[in-house]
Amino acid sequence: MVVMKRLVSILSLCFSLIALAACSTNPATGRSSFTAFMSPEEEVRVGGQEHPKLVEQFGGEYPDRELDAYVRKVGLSLAQTTEMPDLDYSFTVLDDEMINAFALPGGYVHVTRGLLALASNEAEMAGVLAHELGHVTARHSAERYSQSVVAGFGATLLGIAGAAAGVPGVGDMAGYGAQAYLQSYSRDQELEADMLGIRYMTSAGYDPDAMASFFGKMDAFTQLQATIAGDPGAADRFSIMASHPRTGDRVAQAIRLAKVTPVAKPRVGSKTYLSHIDGLVYGDSPAQGVRRGRDFYHPGLRITFRVPPGFVMFNSPRRVVAKGPRKAVIAFDMESEATARSVSDMRNYVGTTWGGRLNLRRVEALDVNGMPAATAATRINTDDGAMDLRLVAIRERPERIYRMIFLTPPSLTGQLSTELQRTTYSFKRLTAAEARAIKPLRVDVITVRKGDSAEALAARMPFDSFRLERFLTLNGLRRGQTPPPGEKVKVIVE
Protein backbone atom coordinates (compact mmCIF):
# COMPACT_ATOMS: atom_id res chain seq x y z
CA MET A 1 0.00 0.00 0.00
CA VAL A 2 2.81 2.43 0.88
CA VAL A 3 4.62 1.60 -2.37
CA MET A 4 1.44 2.19 -4.37
CA LYS A 5 0.81 5.58 -2.75
CA ARG A 6 4.41 6.59 -3.39
CA LEU A 7 4.14 5.54 -7.07
CA VAL A 8 0.94 7.53 -7.53
CA SER A 9 2.54 10.59 -5.90
CA ILE A 10 5.64 10.40 -8.11
CA LEU A 11 3.63 9.94 -11.31
CA SER A 12 1.29 12.78 -10.36
CA LEU A 13 4.22 15.11 -9.71
CA CYS A 14 5.87 14.24 -13.02
CA PHE A 15 2.64 14.77 -14.94
CA SER A 16 2.03 18.11 -13.21
CA LEU A 17 5.49 19.31 -14.21
CA ILE A 18 4.84 18.30 -17.83
CA ALA A 19 1.48 20.09 -17.82
CA LEU A 20 2.98 23.24 -16.33
CA ALA A 21 5.73 23.33 -18.91
CA ALA A 22 3.20 22.87 -21.74
CA CYS A 23 1.12 25.99 -20.96
CA SER A 24 1.41 28.84 -23.46
CA THR A 25 -0.17 32.24 -24.03
CA ASN A 26 -2.87 32.20 -26.69
CA PRO A 27 -2.57 35.28 -28.95
CA ALA A 28 -6.36 35.46 -29.42
CA THR A 29 -7.37 35.31 -25.77
CA GLY A 30 -4.22 36.69 -24.15
CA ARG A 31 -4.37 34.03 -21.45
CA SER A 32 -2.27 31.01 -20.67
CA SER A 33 -3.86 27.83 -21.96
CA PHE A 34 -2.99 24.16 -21.63
CA THR A 35 -2.88 22.50 -25.06
CA ALA A 36 0.03 20.10 -24.50
CA PHE A 37 -1.58 17.07 -26.12
CA MET A 38 -2.89 18.61 -29.35
CA SER A 39 -0.57 20.75 -31.46
CA PRO A 40 -1.87 23.15 -34.16
CA GLU A 41 -0.74 20.62 -36.76
CA GLU A 42 -2.65 17.89 -34.97
CA GLU A 43 -5.76 20.10 -34.86
CA VAL A 44 -5.66 20.43 -38.65
CA ARG A 45 -5.20 16.67 -39.05
CA VAL A 46 -8.05 15.82 -36.66
CA GLY A 47 -10.37 18.40 -38.22
CA GLY A 48 -9.71 17.06 -41.70
CA GLN A 49 -10.30 13.51 -40.52
CA GLU A 50 -13.56 14.24 -38.69
CA HIS A 51 -15.06 16.78 -41.10
CA PRO A 52 -16.46 14.28 -43.67
CA LYS A 53 -17.86 12.08 -40.88
CA LEU A 54 -19.67 15.04 -39.36
CA VAL A 55 -21.03 16.16 -42.73
CA GLU A 56 -22.45 12.69 -43.35
CA GLN A 57 -23.97 12.56 -39.86
CA PHE A 58 -25.81 15.85 -40.44
CA GLY A 59 -27.43 15.07 -43.78
CA GLY A 60 -24.57 15.94 -46.13
CA GLU A 61 -23.80 19.29 -47.73
CA TYR A 62 -26.76 21.43 -48.74
CA PRO A 63 -26.78 21.38 -52.59
CA ASP A 64 -26.76 25.12 -53.35
CA ARG A 65 -23.46 26.38 -54.75
CA GLU A 66 -24.41 30.04 -54.64
CA LEU A 67 -25.45 29.88 -50.99
CA ASP A 68 -22.33 27.87 -50.14
CA ALA A 69 -20.12 30.45 -51.88
CA TYR A 70 -21.90 33.29 -50.07
CA VAL A 71 -21.43 31.73 -46.62
CA ARG A 72 -17.80 30.99 -47.43
CA LYS A 73 -17.20 34.58 -48.58
CA VAL A 74 -18.61 36.02 -45.35
CA GLY A 75 -16.75 33.43 -43.27
CA LEU A 76 -13.40 34.17 -44.92
CA SER A 77 -13.88 37.92 -44.48
CA LEU A 78 -14.28 37.26 -40.76
CA ALA A 79 -11.36 34.82 -40.67
CA GLN A 80 -9.04 37.50 -42.04
CA THR A 81 -9.69 39.60 -38.92
CA THR A 82 -8.62 36.78 -36.57
CA GLU A 83 -5.21 36.12 -35.04
CA MET A 84 -4.90 33.08 -37.36
CA PRO A 85 -5.66 34.52 -40.83
CA ASP A 86 -3.43 32.06 -42.66
CA LEU A 87 -5.27 28.94 -41.51
CA ASP A 88 -6.98 27.09 -44.36
CA TYR A 89 -10.57 27.62 -43.16
CA SER A 90 -13.50 25.59 -44.41
CA PHE A 91 -17.16 26.75 -44.25
CA THR A 92 -19.91 24.19 -44.91
CA VAL A 93 -23.70 24.49 -45.06
CA LEU A 94 -25.27 21.25 -43.80
CA ASP A 95 -28.55 19.86 -45.14
CA ASP A 96 -30.10 19.71 -41.67
CA GLU A 97 -33.23 21.42 -40.39
CA MET A 98 -31.99 21.88 -36.82
CA ILE A 99 -30.69 25.24 -35.59
CA ASN A 100 -27.03 24.35 -35.22
CA ALA A 101 -23.47 25.54 -35.76
CA PHE A 102 -20.14 24.12 -34.67
CA ALA A 103 -16.44 24.16 -35.44
CA LEU A 104 -13.94 21.34 -35.59
CA PRO A 105 -10.29 21.95 -34.70
CA GLY A 106 -8.21 23.22 -37.58
CA GLY A 107 -10.76 25.73 -38.90
CA TYR A 108 -13.70 23.57 -40.08
CA VAL A 109 -16.85 25.65 -39.48
CA HIS A 110 -20.35 24.29 -40.09
CA VAL A 111 -23.82 25.86 -40.10
CA THR A 112 -27.12 24.16 -40.85
CA ARG A 113 -29.71 25.38 -43.34
CA GLY A 114 -32.11 25.46 -40.38
CA LEU A 115 -29.96 28.12 -38.75
CA LEU A 116 -29.75 30.11 -41.99
CA ALA A 117 -33.54 30.04 -42.29
CA LEU A 118 -33.90 31.55 -38.81
CA ALA A 119 -31.38 34.38 -39.33
CA SER A 120 -32.73 37.51 -41.01
CA ASN A 121 -29.61 39.29 -42.18
CA GLU A 122 -25.93 38.88 -42.95
CA ALA A 123 -24.86 40.40 -39.63
CA GLU A 124 -26.74 37.72 -37.68
CA MET A 125 -25.13 34.97 -39.73
CA ALA A 126 -21.75 36.65 -39.31
CA GLY A 127 -22.24 36.64 -35.54
CA VAL A 128 -22.70 32.86 -35.57
CA LEU A 129 -19.70 32.27 -37.85
CA ALA A 130 -17.55 34.64 -35.79
CA HIS A 131 -18.49 32.82 -32.58
CA GLU A 132 -17.39 29.51 -34.09
CA LEU A 133 -14.15 31.11 -35.30
CA GLY A 134 -13.61 32.17 -31.70
CA HIS A 135 -13.63 28.52 -30.64
CA VAL A 136 -11.03 27.81 -33.33
CA THR A 137 -8.62 30.66 -32.51
CA ALA A 138 -8.97 30.13 -28.74
CA ARG A 139 -8.08 26.48 -29.44
CA HIS A 140 -10.88 25.27 -27.19
CA SER A 141 -10.87 21.80 -28.73
CA ALA A 142 -7.15 21.43 -27.99
CA GLU A 143 -7.80 22.60 -24.44
CA ARG A 144 -10.65 20.16 -23.92
CA TYR A 145 -8.66 17.29 -25.36
CA SER A 146 -5.54 18.05 -23.36
CA GLN A 147 -7.52 18.43 -20.16
CA SER A 148 -9.30 15.14 -20.88
CA VAL A 149 -5.89 13.45 -21.12
CA VAL A 150 -5.06 14.84 -17.70
CA ALA A 151 -8.46 13.72 -16.41
CA GLY A 152 -7.90 10.29 -17.93
CA PHE A 153 -4.49 10.08 -16.33
CA GLY A 154 -6.03 11.06 -13.00
CA ALA A 155 -8.71 8.44 -13.51
CA THR A 156 -6.05 5.81 -14.11
CA LEU A 157 -4.20 6.77 -10.95
CA LEU A 158 -7.44 6.91 -8.99
CA GLY A 159 -8.39 3.51 -10.34
CA ILE A 160 -5.05 2.07 -9.29
CA ALA A 161 -5.32 3.57 -5.84
CA GLY A 162 -8.94 2.51 -5.53
CA ALA A 163 -8.15 -1.04 -6.55
CA ALA A 164 -5.27 -1.15 -4.11
CA ALA A 165 -7.57 0.09 -1.35
CA GLY A 166 -10.25 -2.41 -2.29
CA VAL A 167 -12.78 0.28 -3.27
CA PRO A 168 -14.80 -1.02 -6.27
CA GLY A 169 -15.91 1.31 -9.06
CA VAL A 170 -13.68 4.28 -8.18
CA GLY A 171 -11.83 4.13 -11.49
CA ASP A 172 -15.11 3.84 -13.43
CA MET A 173 -16.51 6.97 -11.78
CA ALA A 174 -13.38 8.95 -12.56
CA GLY A 175 -13.49 7.81 -16.18
CA TYR A 176 -17.11 8.87 -16.48
CA GLY A 177 -16.20 12.33 -15.22
CA ALA A 178 -13.54 12.70 -17.90
CA GLN A 179 -15.99 11.61 -20.60
CA ALA A 180 -18.71 13.94 -19.34
CA TYR A 181 -16.27 16.85 -19.48
CA LEU A 182 -16.00 16.43 -23.25
CA GLN A 183 -19.72 16.79 -23.93
CA SER A 184 -19.77 20.58 -24.30
CA TYR A 185 -17.70 23.70 -24.00
CA SER A 186 -17.46 25.26 -20.57
CA ARG A 187 -19.37 28.41 -19.71
CA ASP A 188 -16.12 30.39 -19.74
CA GLN A 189 -15.16 29.02 -23.14
CA GLU A 190 -18.55 29.99 -24.60
CA LEU A 191 -18.20 33.52 -23.20
CA GLU A 192 -14.68 33.66 -24.61
CA ALA A 193 -15.95 32.61 -28.05
CA ASP A 194 -18.67 35.28 -27.80
CA MET A 195 -16.05 37.89 -26.93
CA LEU A 196 -13.79 36.90 -29.81
CA GLY A 197 -16.77 36.67 -32.15
CA ILE A 198 -17.76 40.25 -31.25
CA ARG A 199 -14.19 41.35 -31.95
CA TYR A 200 -14.07 39.66 -35.33
CA MET A 201 -17.49 40.75 -36.59
CA THR A 202 -16.88 44.33 -35.50
CA SER A 203 -13.50 44.35 -37.24
CA ALA A 204 -15.26 43.10 -40.39
CA GLY A 205 -17.72 45.99 -40.16
CA TYR A 206 -20.80 44.28 -38.69
CA ASP A 207 -23.08 45.43 -35.90
CA PRO A 208 -22.20 43.36 -32.78
CA ASP A 209 -25.78 43.69 -31.53
CA ALA A 210 -26.74 41.25 -34.29
CA MET A 211 -25.28 38.45 -32.18
CA ALA A 212 -27.71 39.29 -29.39
CA SER A 213 -30.68 39.58 -31.75
CA PHE A 214 -30.00 36.15 -33.21
CA PHE A 215 -29.66 34.50 -29.81
CA GLY A 216 -33.01 36.07 -28.92
CA LYS A 217 -34.58 34.49 -32.00
CA MET A 218 -33.04 31.16 -31.13
CA ASP A 219 -34.49 31.26 -27.62
CA ALA A 220 -37.94 32.05 -29.05
CA PHE A 221 -37.61 29.24 -31.60
CA THR A 222 -36.63 26.58 -29.05
CA GLN A 223 -39.48 27.61 -26.77
CA LEU A 224 -41.91 27.33 -29.69
CA GLN A 225 -40.57 23.89 -30.63
CA ALA A 226 -41.11 22.68 -27.08
CA THR A 227 -44.65 24.09 -27.10
CA ILE A 228 -45.44 22.41 -30.43
CA ALA A 229 -44.13 19.13 -28.98
CA GLY A 230 -46.56 19.53 -26.09
CA ASP A 231 -43.88 20.07 -23.45
CA PRO A 232 -43.34 23.84 -22.99
CA GLY A 233 -41.15 23.30 -19.96
CA ALA A 234 -38.59 21.27 -21.93
CA ALA A 235 -37.26 24.01 -24.25
CA ASP A 236 -33.67 23.10 -23.30
CA ARG A 237 -34.02 19.82 -25.21
CA PHE A 238 -34.49 21.78 -28.44
CA SER A 239 -31.66 24.28 -27.92
CA ILE A 240 -28.03 23.97 -28.96
CA MET A 241 -27.23 26.54 -26.29
CA ALA A 242 -29.13 24.78 -23.49
CA SER A 243 -26.13 24.21 -21.24
CA HIS A 244 -24.71 27.69 -21.77
CA PRO A 245 -27.57 30.11 -22.47
CA ARG A 246 -26.89 33.42 -24.24
CA THR A 247 -28.84 36.13 -22.48
CA GLY A 248 -28.72 39.77 -23.47
CA ASP A 249 -26.55 40.40 -20.39
CA ARG A 250 -24.10 37.70 -21.48
CA VAL A 251 -23.70 39.24 -24.93
CA ALA A 252 -23.35 42.70 -23.38
CA GLN A 253 -20.61 41.27 -21.16
CA ALA A 254 -18.89 39.81 -24.25
CA ILE A 255 -19.05 43.22 -25.96
CA ARG A 256 -17.41 44.86 -22.94
CA LEU A 257 -14.70 42.20 -22.83
CA ALA A 258 -14.02 42.57 -26.54
CA LYS A 259 -13.17 46.27 -26.00
CA VAL A 260 -14.13 47.17 -29.54
CA THR A 261 -14.95 50.54 -31.01
CA PRO A 262 -18.44 50.51 -32.56
CA VAL A 263 -18.57 50.87 -36.34
CA ALA A 264 -20.02 54.22 -37.46
CA LYS A 265 -22.14 52.63 -40.19
CA PRO A 266 -22.25 48.89 -39.42
CA ARG A 267 -23.11 46.36 -42.08
CA VAL A 268 -26.42 44.56 -41.67
CA GLY A 269 -26.99 43.11 -45.13
CA SER A 270 -30.69 42.21 -44.91
CA LYS A 271 -31.45 42.50 -48.62
CA THR A 272 -28.41 40.53 -49.76
CA TYR A 273 -28.91 37.85 -47.15
CA LEU A 274 -32.61 37.33 -47.81
CA SER A 275 -31.97 37.06 -51.55
CA HIS A 276 -29.58 34.18 -50.89
CA ILE A 277 -31.95 32.20 -48.64
CA ASP A 278 -35.03 32.79 -50.83
CA GLY A 279 -36.13 29.27 -51.84
CA LEU A 280 -34.11 27.56 -49.09
CA VAL A 281 -35.51 24.15 -48.10
CA TYR A 282 -37.27 24.46 -44.74
CA GLY A 283 -37.87 21.57 -42.37
CA ASP A 284 -37.36 18.08 -43.74
CA SER A 285 -35.32 17.35 -46.84
CA PRO A 286 -36.88 14.84 -49.28
CA ALA A 287 -33.55 13.00 -49.19
CA GLN A 288 -34.26 12.18 -45.54
CA GLY A 289 -38.04 11.91 -45.77
CA VAL A 290 -40.63 14.55 -44.95
CA ARG A 291 -43.27 14.92 -42.24
CA ARG A 292 -46.74 16.22 -42.99
CA GLY A 293 -48.72 16.30 -39.77
CA ARG A 294 -48.91 12.70 -38.54
CA ASP A 295 -47.68 11.26 -41.85
CA PHE A 296 -44.10 10.44 -42.82
CA TYR A 297 -43.18 10.14 -46.51
CA HIS A 298 -39.86 9.13 -48.02
CA PRO A 299 -39.96 9.81 -51.78
CA GLY A 300 -36.54 8.23 -52.40
CA LEU A 301 -37.40 4.97 -50.67
CA ARG A 302 -41.06 5.31 -51.77
CA ILE A 303 -42.59 4.39 -48.41
CA THR A 304 -44.97 6.06 -45.95
CA PHE A 305 -46.56 5.51 -42.54
CA ARG A 306 -48.70 7.42 -40.01
CA VAL A 307 -48.19 7.86 -36.26
CA PRO A 308 -51.07 7.99 -33.73
CA PRO A 309 -52.80 11.21 -32.65
CA GLY A 310 -50.86 13.00 -29.92
CA PHE A 311 -47.44 11.83 -31.18
CA VAL A 312 -44.91 14.38 -32.49
CA MET A 313 -42.31 13.21 -35.00
CA PHE A 314 -38.62 14.13 -35.05
CA ASN A 315 -36.66 13.28 -38.19
CA SER A 316 -32.94 12.63 -38.61
CA PRO A 317 -30.78 10.99 -41.30
CA ARG A 318 -30.72 7.71 -39.36
CA ARG A 319 -34.18 7.35 -37.83
CA VAL A 320 -37.59 8.85 -37.20
CA VAL A 321 -38.69 9.15 -33.57
CA ALA A 322 -42.25 9.99 -32.53
CA LYS A 323 -42.83 11.04 -28.92
CA GLY A 324 -46.25 10.57 -27.37
CA PRO A 325 -48.00 10.91 -24.02
CA ARG A 326 -46.29 9.83 -20.80
CA LYS A 327 -42.99 9.10 -22.51
CA ALA A 328 -44.43 6.68 -25.05
CA VAL A 329 -42.10 6.45 -28.05
CA ILE A 330 -42.16 5.07 -31.58
CA ALA A 331 -38.81 4.66 -33.38
CA PHE A 332 -38.49 3.83 -37.08
CA ASP A 333 -35.32 2.87 -38.94
CA MET A 334 -33.81 0.40 -41.45
CA GLU A 335 -31.69 -2.69 -41.14
CA SER A 336 -28.41 -2.63 -43.10
CA GLU A 337 -28.67 -3.86 -46.67
CA ALA A 338 -26.14 -6.65 -46.11
CA THR A 339 -28.06 -8.06 -43.15
CA ALA A 340 -31.42 -7.64 -44.89
CA ARG A 341 -30.26 -9.70 -47.87
CA SER A 342 -29.11 -12.49 -45.56
CA VAL A 343 -32.52 -12.83 -43.87
CA SER A 344 -34.62 -15.75 -45.09
CA ASP A 345 -37.28 -15.81 -42.37
CA MET A 346 -38.76 -12.68 -40.75
CA ARG A 347 -39.77 -14.48 -37.55
CA ASN A 348 -36.23 -15.68 -37.06
CA TYR A 349 -34.91 -12.19 -37.79
CA VAL A 350 -37.06 -10.57 -35.09
CA GLY A 351 -36.56 -13.34 -32.54
CA THR A 352 -32.85 -13.94 -33.05
CA THR A 353 -31.01 -11.39 -35.19
CA TRP A 354 -32.70 -8.21 -33.95
CA GLY A 355 -34.25 -9.15 -30.61
CA GLY A 356 -32.06 -12.06 -29.60
CA ARG A 357 -30.87 -10.40 -26.40
CA LEU A 358 -34.39 -9.65 -25.23
CA ASN A 359 -36.67 -12.04 -23.42
CA LEU A 360 -39.29 -11.85 -26.17
CA ARG A 361 -42.69 -13.44 -25.93
CA ARG A 362 -44.09 -15.43 -28.85
CA VAL A 363 -42.81 -14.16 -32.22
CA GLU A 364 -45.64 -13.86 -34.74
CA ALA A 365 -45.61 -13.61 -38.52
CA LEU A 366 -47.56 -10.75 -40.11
CA ASP A 367 -48.60 -9.57 -43.54
CA VAL A 368 -48.43 -5.78 -43.82
CA ASN A 369 -50.05 -4.65 -47.06
CA GLY A 370 -48.64 -7.63 -48.95
CA MET A 371 -45.18 -7.44 -47.32
CA PRO A 372 -43.86 -10.23 -45.05
CA ALA A 373 -43.35 -9.05 -41.48
CA ALA A 374 -43.00 -10.27 -37.92
CA THR A 375 -43.59 -8.93 -34.42
CA ALA A 376 -42.82 -9.78 -30.79
CA ALA A 377 -43.17 -8.06 -27.42
CA THR A 378 -41.65 -8.01 -23.96
CA ARG A 379 -41.35 -5.82 -20.89
CA ILE A 380 -38.08 -4.07 -20.11
CA ASN A 381 -36.67 -1.90 -17.34
CA THR A 382 -35.62 1.64 -18.28
CA ASP A 383 -34.57 4.80 -16.47
CA ASP A 384 -38.27 5.72 -16.52
CA GLY A 385 -39.30 2.43 -14.97
CA ALA A 386 -40.89 -0.65 -16.52
CA MET A 387 -41.98 -0.20 -20.16
CA ASP A 388 -43.73 -2.47 -22.65
CA LEU A 389 -41.69 -3.00 -25.80
CA ARG A 390 -42.99 -4.25 -29.16
CA LEU A 391 -40.78 -4.92 -32.18
CA VAL A 392 -42.14 -4.92 -35.73
CA ALA A 393 -40.00 -5.70 -38.79
CA ILE A 394 -41.33 -5.39 -42.36
CA ARG A 395 -39.56 -6.69 -45.45
CA GLU A 396 -40.41 -4.23 -48.20
CA ARG A 397 -38.00 -5.82 -50.69
CA PRO A 398 -35.06 -8.28 -50.50
CA GLU A 399 -32.51 -5.59 -49.57
CA ARG A 400 -34.77 -3.51 -47.31
CA ILE A 401 -36.14 -4.38 -43.90
CA TYR A 402 -37.87 -1.55 -42.05
CA ARG A 403 -38.18 -1.64 -38.28
CA MET A 404 -40.59 -0.11 -35.78
CA ILE A 405 -40.08 -0.04 -32.03
CA PHE A 406 -43.08 0.78 -29.84
CA LEU A 407 -42.28 1.68 -26.23
CA THR A 408 -45.18 2.40 -23.85
CA PRO A 409 -45.74 2.57 -20.09
CA PRO A 410 -47.73 -0.55 -19.06
CA SER A 411 -50.66 1.54 -17.85
CA LEU A 412 -50.98 3.04 -21.33
CA THR A 413 -50.26 0.02 -23.54
CA GLY A 414 -53.84 -1.22 -23.72
CA GLN A 415 -55.20 2.25 -24.44
CA LEU A 416 -52.72 2.79 -27.28
CA SER A 417 -52.86 -0.75 -28.66
CA THR A 418 -55.32 -0.09 -31.48
CA GLU A 419 -53.59 3.09 -32.65
CA LEU A 420 -50.18 1.42 -32.60
CA GLN A 421 -51.56 -1.42 -34.71
CA ARG A 422 -52.86 1.18 -37.15
CA THR A 423 -49.37 2.65 -37.34
CA THR A 424 -47.97 -0.76 -38.21
CA TYR A 425 -50.52 -1.34 -40.97
CA SER A 426 -50.25 2.24 -42.24
CA PHE A 427 -46.82 1.33 -43.59
CA LYS A 428 -47.10 1.01 -47.36
CA ARG A 429 -45.32 1.63 -50.63
CA LEU A 430 -45.72 4.84 -52.61
CA THR A 431 -46.29 4.81 -56.35
CA ALA A 432 -43.78 6.63 -58.53
CA ALA A 433 -46.33 9.41 -59.10
CA GLU A 434 -47.03 9.75 -55.37
CA ALA A 435 -43.31 9.98 -54.66
CA ARG A 436 -42.78 12.66 -57.32
CA ALA A 437 -45.61 14.72 -55.85
CA ILE A 438 -43.86 15.08 -52.48
CA LYS A 439 -42.10 18.43 -52.37
CA PRO A 440 -40.21 20.07 -49.51
CA LEU A 441 -41.32 23.23 -47.78
CA ARG A 442 -39.29 26.30 -48.71
CA VAL A 443 -38.53 29.80 -47.47
CA ASP A 444 -40.29 32.42 -49.58
CA VAL A 445 -39.12 36.01 -49.16
CA ILE A 446 -41.97 38.43 -49.88
CA THR A 447 -42.58 42.17 -49.64
CA VAL A 448 -45.18 43.33 -47.12
CA ARG A 449 -48.02 45.22 -48.79
CA LYS A 450 -50.21 47.90 -47.31
CA GLY A 451 -52.96 46.30 -45.23
CA ASP A 452 -51.03 43.06 -44.63
CA SER A 453 -51.17 41.89 -41.03
CA ALA A 454 -48.99 39.34 -39.31
CA GLU A 455 -52.05 37.07 -39.03
CA ALA A 456 -52.79 37.33 -42.75
CA LEU A 457 -49.18 36.63 -43.71
CA ALA A 458 -49.01 33.69 -41.31
CA ALA A 459 -52.22 32.23 -42.74
CA ARG A 460 -50.35 31.53 -46.01
CA MET A 461 -48.09 29.01 -44.34
CA PRO A 462 -48.91 25.28 -44.72
CA PHE A 463 -49.01 24.28 -41.06
CA ASP A 464 -51.87 22.74 -39.12
CA SER A 465 -51.18 24.78 -35.98
CA PHE A 466 -49.12 27.63 -34.52
CA ARG A 467 -49.00 29.49 -37.84
CA LEU A 468 -48.80 32.94 -36.30
CA GLU A 469 -46.21 31.88 -33.74
CA ARG A 470 -44.08 30.30 -36.46
CA PHE A 471 -44.27 33.44 -38.60
CA LEU A 472 -43.36 35.76 -35.73
CA THR A 473 -40.44 33.60 -34.61
CA LEU A 474 -39.10 33.20 -38.13
CA ASN A 475 -39.02 36.98 -38.57
CA GLY A 476 -37.97 38.02 -35.08
CA LEU A 477 -41.29 39.78 -34.38
CA ARG A 478 -43.26 40.15 -31.15
CA ARG A 479 -46.92 39.29 -30.78
CA GLY A 480 -48.97 42.30 -31.88
CA GLN A 481 -46.14 43.59 -34.07
CA THR A 482 -46.81 43.94 -37.81
CA PRO A 483 -43.98 44.54 -40.28
CA PRO A 484 -44.38 47.85 -42.17
CA PRO A 485 -45.29 47.96 -45.89
CA GLY A 486 -42.27 47.55 -48.14
CA GLU A 487 -40.34 45.41 -45.66
CA LYS A 488 -39.13 41.94 -46.67
CA VAL A 489 -40.34 39.02 -44.56
CA LYS A 490 -40.04 35.24 -44.66
CA VAL A 491 -42.97 32.89 -45.04
CA ILE A 492 -42.95 29.14 -45.58
CA VAL A 493 -44.60 27.73 -48.71
CA GLU A 494 -45.06 24.35 -50.36
441-493: which CATH number, 3.10.350, 3.30.300, 2.40.10, 2.60.40?
A: 3.10.350
- Evaluate if pTM is beyond 0.85: no
User: Which residues, including other chains, have CB under 8 Å from residue 410's CB and lie 6 or more apart?
Assistant: 379, 386, 387, 388
Q: Domain residue spans in the chain? A: 1-283, 286-436, 441-493
The amino acid at 413: T
Q: Residue 213's closest CA among 282, 132, 120, 135? A: 120
Does the domain at 286-436 match CATH 3.40.190.10? Answer given as no
User: What tens-digit pLDDT sequence spans the chain (494 residues)?
Assistant: 555 555 445 445 555 545 544 556 666 555 656 455 577 788 888 889 999 999 998 889 999 999 999 999 999 999 999 989 999 999 999 999 989 999 998 999 999 999 999 999 999 999 999 999 999 988 877 777 655 555 554 444 444 434 433 433 333 333 323 333 334 677 888 888 888 999 999 999 998 889 888 988 988 998 898 888 776 665 555 455 444 455 556 777 777 776 777 777 899 999 999 999 999 999 999 989 999 989 999 999 999 999 999 898 988 888 999 999 999 999 999 999 999 999 999 999 999 999 999 999 889 999 999 999 999 999 999 988 999 999 999 999 999 999 999 999 999 999 999 999 999 999 999 999 999 999 999 999 999 999 999 999 999 999 888 999 999 999 999 999 989 999 999 999 98
Q: DSSP states of 198-245 as a string? A: HHHHHHTTB-THHHHHHHHHHHHHHHHHHHHTT-GGGGGGG-TTTTS-
Cα(459)–Cα(327) distance, integer angstroms: 32
Contacts of 468 (CB under 8 A, 6+ apart): 454, 455, 458, 479
Write a three-state SS string for 268-330. CCHHHHHHHHCCCEECCCHHHCEEECCEEEECCCCEEEECCCCCEEEECCCCEEEECHHHCEE
